[in-house]
Chains A and B, each alone.
Chain A
Amino acid sequence: MTGALKSAVPSLIALFLGLAVASILMWILGLNPFNVFYTLFTGALTTPFGQSSVLTYMGSYTLFALAFIIPGKAGIWNVGAQGQAILGGITVALIVTFVPLPPIIWPLFAIIAAIVVGALWSAVSGVLEAYRNASAIVTTIMLNFVAASIASFLLLWVIGAKVKYVPQTSYLTFGSETTIPTFPYFNTSIMFIVAILVAIGSAFFLARTTLGYSIRATGLGSRPAESKGINPKTMKVIAMIIGGAVAGLAGAGDVMSVGHGCYLVACYQDGFAGGWFGGEGFAGIAVALVAANNPIGSVFSAVFFAILASGTASVGQNVYVVWAMQGIIILFMAAPALSRGIIKLGGRRKWI
């Protein structure tokens, strides 16, 4: 446990520095940072709406962070969770619209399909990196845009959503028989519990299973992995597939949770803007970095970012204040003294 705490120190330093710089920026802009953070936290934690949205955000952020962490353990960078989740979300929308199934089987089938689609999509980048020497950083970024385009196309062309103005359409809502059950009291879907279970499962998988060990060994370098009889190429693809599967689950969860539906491109509840580039997929990277790439840590880190995100409504700001903060925190995470502790991605990382 002390080891885990020790590895959390650099990310906490970066987090603190990031928040300090964000506070200075607020002060320059004429806002009182203490007031902002106070209203932000009380708004998120004391109102019923705030509490339920903290849990909703927390579930998504955790899954998006895991989608970055698991491939990261094999030394492969999944910057494409956004795209994988969008395709997962659109898969759910297609199934709900076109495939008639009995009530309980319906959501299960849709979720599994979303997971498969997310996994297949990320596999493309995994295979290109492992076998064609093309960096997953580039291909996942590029495929985010391709995924968003495909999702937009399908929503407009196949599902027949109406364009309000580019790039956003009408809101598709699903009937209660196709949504994920609600957690009592908090009025939020049980996705956040699923996310916590997936985080625990990932930690167990990486630490205790042979496959998890092989993935971690690959991250420490191809040579040493090969000497242990592990095929690093296969492991990279497998790690990427698992990451994409988790992202697909996140996409399904966002779309199928109560009150959620599907926007064109965004595929998310309002506030979760940005299917093309921004949004939760990138927030997930911030969450993963603050968690020092630790699956269990990502739950706690996700809670923090979820409070920031859901509290913004209470300070009369939009979510972009949090984007600015996330950006600053990520910049601090990139500092070598900190990133060495945070990102234990092995091997020589290359571009292209």
Chain B
Amino acid sequence: MDLTPFVLLIVFGLQWAIPIATAADGELVTEKSGILNIGIYGVMVISGFAAAVANYQTGQALGSSSAYVGLLAGMAAGVGVNFLFAFLATKIHVDQVIAGIGINIFAVGITYVLLQRFYEIDGTPISNSVAPLFTVGGLSQGIAPKISPLMVVMFVLPVLVYLFLARTKLGLHIRAVGENPQAAEAAGIDVVKTRLTATAIGGSLLGLGGAYLTVDFFNSFIPDPTGTVFPGFIALAAVIAGGWSPPYVLGMSVLFGACVGLRFVLIAPGALVYLTYMLPFVMTVAVLGVASKRLRPPAALGVPYKKE
């Protein structure tokens, strides 16, 4: 029996789990502080674009290490956009859902416009001249799927996020302001500052997820008006389906990654792919329908906080 399809499914599934899990961890940290950013998809698109551009522009000078510049640029862009969102949410008290929708639409539009303006390419990706991070070759039948070093990050991150939230002072503060900002403020915690910090940390992970796709997986930026390239909404789903708990969120991300990765395994994608593609979203709706009363989202999630 030829096991190649299964091996490929595992490899591609895990590869797709990387951006989902990283972004989901970022969104988890953000949401734990009570900030709800459904613009996560837009943040990923913008950071993916920034990463691809940085990678491309430094490719000549730095060779293959430009990929790391790309990753850093993506993380910086993620921090920037997420921080801007948190600033609007905490200082100006914008409606978080509307602002999130705005960021999503803006991100798709602006990256497309910039791509066209500066690279004079209409709808085709920027290709990087550099090699991918590193490649595991010779699996079988000449198929050489890449395994990214970020796979390690994917498995280590939930542990770090868990320890950070459960054991550190800042993590405790983040959870406190996400559950009950009034009480946290009374206990001497600066709610706004804590939320800004949490979204900045979360933003770096969102950025890493977006950057992984453009620097490593696709090795190019693909404009994404259909929302199928950058898995921001799948990451959002993984946070909910994983019940805001780092290990479960990772589990969901891996499962959802397999659902997405299947598309790349089948030679002729065919119609059935779409049935697996919708599984993450069906599962999330099912979890909400069946267990929404048992889910424990941060109590102050998405609720604007104003000092009395």
- Digit string of B76-109 for contact with A (CB within 8 Å is 1, else 0)? 0000000000001000111111110111111111
Distance in angstroms from A275 CB to nearest chain B CB is 7
Query: Given the known A-B contacts A79-B101, A278-B226, are A156 and B285 also in contact in the complex, defined by CB atoms under 8 Å?
Result: no
Q: Which residue of chain B lies nearest to A127 when distances are taken between CB atoms in the complex?
A: B289
Q: Which residue of chain B lies nearest to A157 when distances are taken between CB atoms in the complex?
A: B271
User: Is A323 a contact of B105 with CB atoms below 8 Å?
Assistant: yes
Give the residue of A132, A322, A348 whose beta carbon is less than 8 angstroms from that of B292: A132
Query: Given the known A-B contacts A273-B225, A352-B288, are A327 and B109 also in contact in the complex, defined by CB atoms under 8 Å?
Result: yes
Q: How large is the interface on A (under 10, 10 to 19, 20 to 34, 35 or more residues)?
A: 35 or more
User: Is A318 a contact of B228 with CB atoms below 8 Å?
Assistant: no
Give the residue of B104, B106, B236, B277 whose beta carbon is less than 8 angstroms from that of A149: B277
User: Is B271 a contact of A153 with CB atoms below 8 Å?
Assistant: yes
Query: Given the known A-B contacts A77-B97, A145-B233, A350-B302, are A132 and B289 also in contact in the complex, defined by CB atoms under 8 Å?
Result: yes
Q: A191 on the interface (CB 8 Å rule)?
A: no
Give the residue of A134, A334, A336 whose beta carbon is less than 8 angstroms from that of B102: A334
Q: B41 on the interface (CB 8 Å rule)?
A: yes
User: Is B106 a contact of A143 with CB atoms below 8 Å?
Assistant: no
Q: Which residue of chain B lies nearest to A336 when distances are taken between CB atoms in the complex?
A: B93
Distance in angstroms from A82 CB to nearest chain B CB is 10
Complex alpha-carbon distance, A266 and B228, angstroms:
12
Identify the stretch in B4-12, B62-70, B110-118, B212-220 within 8 Å (CB) of chain A at 4 or more residues.
B110-118
Give the residue of B93, B95, B285, B295 whose beta carbon is less than 8 angstroms from that of A139: B285
Count how many chain B residues have C-beta atoms less than 8 Å from C-beta atoms of the other chain. 62
Distance in angstroms from B93 CB to nearest chain A CB is 5
A25: B residues at CB distance < 8 A: 110
A328: B residues at CB distance < 8 A: 102, 106
Query: Given the known A-B contacts A156-B270, A330-B98, are A274 and B106 also in contact in the complex, defined by CB atoms under 8 Å?
Result: no
Distance in angstroms from A347 CB to nearest chain B CB is 13
Q: B122 on the interface (CB 8 Å rule)?
A: yes
A285: B residues at CB distance < 8 A: 101
B99: A residues at CB distance < 8 A: 330-331, 334
B237: A residues at CB distance < 8 A: 142
Residue of A148, A266, A273, A279 contacting most chain B CB atoms (<10 Å): A148
Complex alpha-carbon distance, A227 and B64, angstroms:
68
User: Total number of A-B contacts with CB less than 8 angstroms?
Assistant: 196
Complex alpha-carbon distance, A343 and B99, angstroms:
13
Q: A198 on the interface (CB 8 Å rule)?
A: no
Complex alpha-carbon distance, A25 and B114, angstroms:
11
Q: Which residue of chain A lies nearest to B112 when distances are taken between CB atoms in the complex?
A: A320
Q: A146 on the interface (CB 8 Å rule)?
A: yes
Q: B20 on the interface (CB 8 Å rule)?
A: no
Complex alpha-carbon distance, A89 and B50, angstroms:
36
Complex alpha-carbon distance, A321 and B288, angstroms:
36
Query: Given the known A-B contacts A351-B297, A351-B301, are A330 and B101 also in contact in the complex, defined by CB atoms under 8 Å?
Result: yes
Q: Which residue of chain A lies nearest to B244 when distances are taken between CB atoms in the complex?
A: A352
- Digit string of B258-278 for contact with A (CB within 8 Å is 1, else 0)? 000001000001111011011
Give the residue of B101, B285, B301 whose beta carbon is less than 8 angstroms from that of A128: B285
User: Is B228 a contact of A276 with CB atoms below 8 Å?
Assistant: yes
User: Is A331 a contact of B288 with CB atoms below 8 Å?
Assistant: no
Complex alpha-carbon distance, A339 and B96, angstroms:
11
Q: A163 on the interface (CB 8 Å rule)?
A: yes
User: Is A352 a contact of B108 with CB atoms below 8 Å?
Assistant: no
Residue of A137, A327, A349, A350 contacting most chain B CB atoms (<10 Å): A327
A323: B residues at CB distance < 8 A: 105-106, 108-109, 112, 225
B272: A residues at CB distance < 8 A: 153, 157
User: Is A277 a contact of B109 with CB atoms below 8 Å?
Assistant: no
Complex alpha-carbon distance, A148 and B282, angstroms:
12
Complex alpha-carbon distance, A324 and B226, angstroms:
15
B112: A residues at CB distance < 8 A: 318, 320, 323-324
Distance in angstroms from A143 CB to nearest chain B CB is 6
- Assuming A166-B269, A278-B108, what are 5 further A-B pairs, CB within 8 angstroms? A139-B288, A142-B281, A153-B272, A324-B113, A327-B105
The 4 closest A-B pairs by CB, nearest first: A327-B106, A277-B227, A323-B109, A324-B109
* Sample (17) of A-B pairs whose CB atoms are under 8 Å apart: A29-B117, A143-B285, A146-B281, A163-B269, A167-B226, A276-B227, A277-B41, A286-B105, A320-B109, A320-B112, A323-B109, A323-B112, A324-B109, A327-B102, A327-B110, A330-B102, A351-B36
Which residues of A are interface residues toward B (Cβ below 8 A)? 25, 29-30, 77, 79, 124, 128, 132-134, 137-139, 141-143, 145-146, 148-150, 152-153, 156-157, 163, 166-167, 265-266, 273-279, 282, 285-286, 289, 317-318, 320-331, 333-336, 339, 343, 348-352
